[in-house]
């Protein structure tokens, strides 16, 4: 993640603001240090400084709140009150009414200072989070746009290889484009997706030749939380297969098998007949997207044997209804 623009492009004083919320212990240490400095300043200038003893504490309330958090600012206010009471009792006596009014004003102004600075810090944190989310969304958008362009090219090539002329090519290509659009909407959460595993897979993979997709597994209905997560992962795997894997060549196939263990869907994606593969030198955005989509409660184990990519998906789910415990192979 790049450095936050809120800080990197902001005014110079933004660099004086801590990037992380301080802990309670840090807040108390900051408040103690500020109280010590404020008290020493008062003793140095007390002959020239009139008014309540906690006047020297006011500027340090802002410092303690910025660097020590809300707890630091509140602790410093209490320390200022205790310091004033000590001075009034031992050094500079004052009437009870005057002490009460001065203390009330100090707490009121100090509390407003702490509340204002805390609100600003909360706003900065919220802006940073929003900036990070927007960067993730922009990165995913760039990734998806690039994938779609390459997918359209791959599907056009696959359709052309299986068509005899333009009149046969165009209906097939248009149908696969509609299927690709439907799969994109499903994986993006913009359509109500099928809950059955096989129906969901066939809908997501309808843009590809059905004879090259070997599906086998029991009838399992997914819950509303697991279905879109699985859809996004399958869409990403299919995109990769069409660009680089088994679906990018004429005779490659994808085998998908799944079964159910208590509370856990196990799905195996296996590509065969495609170009030889090797482990990537680094994790791409698609791999990170799959891991983030399945977490928490799921995982994906990607392996790269020469014959084709393999992926073992584990996804926790609440099964609404399993119509059959027996495997239902299909092609």
pLDDT for 70-120, tens place per residue?
A: 899 999 999 998 998 888 888 888 888 888 888 888 889 989 999 998 888
Range(s) within the chain of domains with CATH label 3.30.565.10? 162-330
Average pLDDT rounded to a whole number, residues 234-240: 83
Average pLDDT rounded to a whole number, residues 250-264: 89
- Pick left, alpha or beta for residue 263 (phi over 0 → left; psi -120 to 50 → alpha; otherwise beta): left
Q: Terminal CA-to-CA distance of the chain, rounded, Å? A: 43
Report the 10 Å Cβ neighbour count for 114: 22
Predicted confidence (pLDDT) per residue in 167-177, tens digit: 778 876 776 67
Q: Are 198 and 213 in contact (CB under 8 A)?
A: no
What six digits make up the tokens of 139?
């990165």
CA-wise closest residue to 146 among 301, 289, 303, 313: 289
Pairing of strands 213-217, 253-261: parallel
* Between residues 19 and 325, the one the model is more confident about: 19
* pLDDT-based confidence at residue 193 (cuts at 50, 70, 90): low
What six digits make up the tokens of 328?
């239902």
Q: Are 271 and 252 in contact (CB under 8 A)?
A: yes
* Between residues 251 and 226, the one the model is more confident about: 251
- Poorest-confidence range of 185-199, 209-223, 289-303? 185-199
Share of the chain above pLDDT 90, in %: 14
Fold that domain 162-330 belongs to in CATH: Heat Shock Protein 90 (3.30.565)
**pLDDT at residue 324 in the model:** 40
Residue 155 confidence (pLDDT) above 90: no
CA-wise closest residue to 123 among 135, 134, 133, 131: 131
Mean pLDDT for the chain overall:
79
* pLDDT-based confidence at residue 326 (cuts at 50, 70, 90): very low
């Amino acid at each position: 993640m790049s450095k936050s623009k809120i800080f990197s492009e902001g005014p110079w004083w933004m660099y004086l603001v801590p990037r992380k919320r301080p802990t309670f212990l840090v807040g108390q240490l900051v408040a103690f240090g500020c109280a010590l400095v404020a008290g020493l300043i008062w003793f140095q200038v007390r002959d020239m400084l009139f008014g309540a003893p906690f006047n020297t504490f006011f500027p340090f309330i802002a410092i303690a709140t910025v660097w020590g958090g809300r707890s630091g600012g509140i602790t410093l206010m209490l320390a200022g009150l205790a310091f004033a009471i000590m001075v009034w009792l031992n050094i500079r006596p004052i009437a009870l009414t005057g002490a009460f009014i001065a203390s009330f004003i100090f707490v009121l102004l100090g509390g407003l200072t702490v509340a204002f600075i805390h609100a600003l810090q909360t706003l900065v944190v919220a802006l940073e989070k929003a900036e990070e989310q927007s960067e993730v969304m922009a990165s995913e958008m760039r990734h998806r746009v690039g994938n779609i362009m390459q997918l359209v090219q791959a599907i056009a090539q696959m359709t052309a290889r299986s068509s005899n002329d333009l009149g046969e090519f165009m209906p097939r290509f248009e149908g696969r484009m509609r299927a690709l659009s439907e799969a994109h909407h499903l994986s993006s959460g913009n359509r109500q997706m099928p809950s059955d595993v096989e129906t969901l897979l066939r809908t997501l993979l309808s843009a590809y030749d059905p004879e090259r997709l070997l599906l086998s597994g029991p009838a399992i209905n997914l819950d509303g939380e697991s279905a879109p997560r699985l859809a996004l992962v399958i869409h990403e795997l299919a995109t990769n297969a069409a660009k680089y894997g088994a679906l990018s060549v004429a005779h490659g196939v994808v085998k998908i098998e799944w079964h159910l263990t208590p509370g856990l869907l196990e799905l195996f994606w296996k590509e065969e007949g495609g170009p030889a593969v090797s482990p990537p030198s680094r994790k791409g955005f698609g791999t990170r997207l799959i891991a983030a989509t399945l977490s928490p409660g799921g995982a994906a184990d990607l392996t790269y044997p020469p014959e084709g990519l393999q992926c073992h998906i584990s996804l926790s789910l609440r099964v609404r209804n399993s119509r059959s415990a027996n495997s239902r192979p299909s092609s």
